[in-house]
A = this chain, B = another copy of it.
Amino acid sequence: MHEQTDPPDEPSPGLVSTAIQAITQHIRSEGLAPGDPLPSEAAMTRQLNVSRTVVREAFRSLSAMRLIDMSAGRRATVAKLDTGAMSMVIEHGITTQQISVQQVYDVRRTIEMRTVALAALRRTNAEAAAIAQSARLMRESCKNPETVMEHDIAFHEAIAAASHNPVFSLIVTAFSGVTRRTWVIGWRTRSSDEDQLKMIKGHEDIADAILKGDPRLAAEHMAEHFDKSVKALIDAGIA
């Protein structure tokens, strides 16, 4: 066994990593819930016997991952589940060409085939209405691509929310950033108005299936939707 929880110093991981672990450990051991306050930087400084610089970098790192909320004058608090860090990881993968847009779409398809089925089974009436509303807004604003896109994204996020599994919401939302960067490309390849309206119709079909509570039908429409979207992206030359 080569463990070194040593008294003198910790060379390898660095003081900041240690501080990050100490903070997350604190959240765990104290059973803190979102909104609960964390120790002040000064307190952490004393407890860990390091400089405020180190403690601050630790807090800031957790804040960047959206695990805690920071704001001037107030102590940091435990954060609600947020997609910030995940989005950044995905975006990083895309911009450094370690993952392709098509790969993201394959994952989205996999996940959303499930969220849409769960939504059909578990959606509340309000959720079904929100989903249908997004689809309707897509049609109404079909002259303005940017607006259609935002409603499209809201549509998919609403379905994820209606799955009543926040992990699905987390992942779907994390992908929204990628969608924002590629959506318009796909839209442009649907040259004719007819194609564009057909795509919007697809969303309405999904919303209807969810409203009817038919998971199989909802999944079918979702699959169709993704297949067409991916095809549009491939036609546009997205690797």
The 8 Å CB contact of A64, one of B20, B80, B110, is B20
- 1/0 contact trace for A84-121 toward B, CB 8 Å? 01101111110111110001101100110010000000
User: Is A98 a contact of B80 with CB atoms below 8 Å?
Assistant: yes
Q: What is the minimal beta-carbon distance from A62 to any residue of chain B, in angstroms?
A: 7
- Chain A interface, DSSP helix/strand/loop, else mixed: helix
Interface residues of A in 139-194 (CB under 8 A from B): 165-168, 170-171
Instruction: Tell me how many chains of this kind the complex includes.
Output: 2
Q: Looking at the complex, which of A26-34, A127-135, A225-233 is the stretch in contact with chain B?
A: A26-34
Q: Looking at the complex, which of A37-45, A53-61, A197-205, A210-218 is the stretch in contact with chain B?
A: A53-61
Closest residue of chain B to A118, judged by CB? B106
User: A63 to B91, alpha carbons, bound, how many Å?
Assistant: 15
Q: Which residues of B contact A222 (CB under 8 A)?
A: none
User: A86 to B67, alpha carbons, bound, how many Å?
Assistant: 11
Interface of A toward B, CB cutoff 8 Å? 16, 20, 24, 27-28, 32-34, 53, 56-57, 60-67, 78-82, 85-86, 88-93, 95-99, 103-104, 106-107, 110-111, 114, 165-168, 170-171
Can you spell out 10 A-B residue pairs with CB atoms less than 8 angstroms apart? Answer: A60-B61, A79-B92, A81-B92, A81-B93, A85-B88, A89-B170, A93-B166, A103-B165, A110-B111, A110-B114
